[in-house]
Structure 1
């Protein structure tokens, strides 16, 4: 009787172990496939969202006759221009950070009557860079030009 009980318990244990392994492998494979599909969908969605949440910043001189740099930068709606510039370009500002005095090492020469003019979507900015809030799709231009 003990031998028969030992065989029965062994059979149940072996069956459970083998059954659990098979189910685990199938579940693991299905989970891995589902994870890959979810990652790909998330990646595709993130790429689409990133393309929609970009601003283009162009740096030039003398009414855009000389281009210095241009970058497409991901932002969140309401991002402040000075923060975006500090994160993506080497800049210097005036004493209160309202106006940029140098971008990527380019600045007006001493006693030269030039300054960085800022244009957002083709319109000259009416406030300083620390007060300009950006929206996805904005085109921002900085042009070092003579005062007029």
Structure 2
């Protein structure tokens, strides 16, 4: 009888040890899954944040009749339009006024100028003074100022 008790106690101990090891492994796996999940969510949130910090800038001629280029560009908080234009386009300026975009020059002799609108509204400040907001849509158009 004592051999039987010893056998049962040993069997229970082995089952307990094996069950504990298996449970610990499962806890680690669950912990790894749980740890990876927020990382994935954080990554998605970061991707969404980057997507939200974009503006669309289009360059046209003749009041939108001819499209020169259109780009979706990233911005940082507090981004100023002139700085974003210089960074993303071939641009020349004179005294704070944009004179050339992508090699297309606004000629004073032809009474042409680069005018811009933001979100469909004519701009009320110069490009050096306009702070962009994510999602803004800016259009620079070369047309006669008359």
How many residue pairs match? The answer is 126
Kept after mapping to 2: 8 A contact 1:76/1:135 = no
Rounded to whole Å, the distance in 2 between the matches of 1:60 and 1:39 is 42
Alignment match of 2:126 (pick from 123, 128, 133): 128
- Aligned counterpart, 2:114: 116
Rounded to whole Å, the distance in 2 between the matches of 1:100 and 1:115 is 8
Shift in Å, 1:33: 5.9
C-alpha change, 1:110 and 1:128, in structure 2 (3 Å) is closer
C-alpha change, 1:118 and 1:30, in structure 2 (3 Å) is same
Kept after mapping to 2: 8 A contact 1:53/1:75 = yes
TM-score computed with the length of structure 2 as normaliser: 0.71
Secondary structure of 2:71's counterpart equals: strand
Rounded to whole Å, the distance in 2 between the matches of 1:117 and 1:92 is 14
- Aligned counterpart, 1:142: 140
Structure-to-structure mapping, 1:84-99, within 5 angstroms: 84-94=84-94, 96=95, 98-99=96-97
- Gaps of at least 5 residues in structure 2 are 1-23
- Aligned counterpart, 2:105: 107
C-alpha change, 1:146 and 1:110, in structure 2 (3 Å) is closer
Kept after mapping to 1: 8 A contact 2:107/2:113 = no
- Gaps of at least 5 residues in structure 1 are 1-22
Secondary structure of 2:72's counterpart equals: strand
RMSD: 2.8
C-alpha distance after superposition, 1:12-38 (max 9, x if no partner): xxxxxxxxxxx9xx97x8887667545
TM-score computed with the length of structure 1 as normaliser: 0.71
Secondary structure of 2:110's counterpart equals: coil
Runs of 4 or more, structure 1, over 3 Å off, are: 29-39
Larger radius of gyration: 2
